[in-house]
Amino acid sequence: MKRSVARSPYLWAIIAVCAVVTVAWVGRENYQPVITGAAAPDFTYSALDGTPVTLSDYEGKVVLVNVWATWCGPCIEEMPSMQRLYSEIDSEDFEILAVSVDGPMGEPAPDGRIGGDIGAFVDEFDLTFPILHNPQGDIQRMYQATGVPESYLVGPDGIIVKKVAGPTAWDADVNKELIGRLLGR
């Protein structure tokens, strides 16, 4: 007796595998890892004054992209070192773009956490580098961040030179020397 083609589990398995391979091939750009040596994904988020800021506007500069939130204890620990680094480097070819993933103040973000007062946070720590707001948390998906804080040091060519998950002392000599080399000093 002949088996029906519709009942053949092997045929359906082959069709399913072909579909998965086709979907992966078509969307392969979406699956590129965000790691050291990879191009930094471009983004545009609003500064606290509402001005849109785009990473690609800083092409040719060294940029420290930091993903953080007001409710994050390690972010609170890390921010003063970022401000000291920013003050010490003091170069038009270096920028810090700190992207907050807080929800709108007093409202929940997609992760359910209530958004803090970003302006008060900036004032408390006397931050002078650009603070951007991404309440949807898109940057975490785009950069494949595992949490906050997470930072990406991007070279003048747009390539990620260093990726740090968790807080770090950005004003430590090793980081200042790396940024100095990237700046051609």
**Helix/strand/coil for 78:** helix
Q: What are the structural domains of the chain? A: 35-182 (3.40.30.10)
Show the CA angle centred on residue 143, arms to residues 78 and 85, nearest 5°.
30
Q: Which of 183, 125, 161 is nearest to 100 (CA)?
A: 125
Task: List helix spans (H) across 93-169.
Answer: 118-124, 138-142
CA 32 vs. chain centroid, Å, equals: 14
Question: pLDDT digit string (tens) for 74-118?
Answer: 999 999 999 999 999 989 999 999 999 999 999 988 888 999 999
- pTM of the model as a whole: 0.84
- The model's pLDDT over 123-150, given as tens digits with 9 standing for 90+, comes to 999 999 999 999 999 999 999 999 999 9
Angle, helices 173-182 vs 73-89, to 10°: value is 50
Q: Cis omega before residue 104 (within 30°)?
A: no
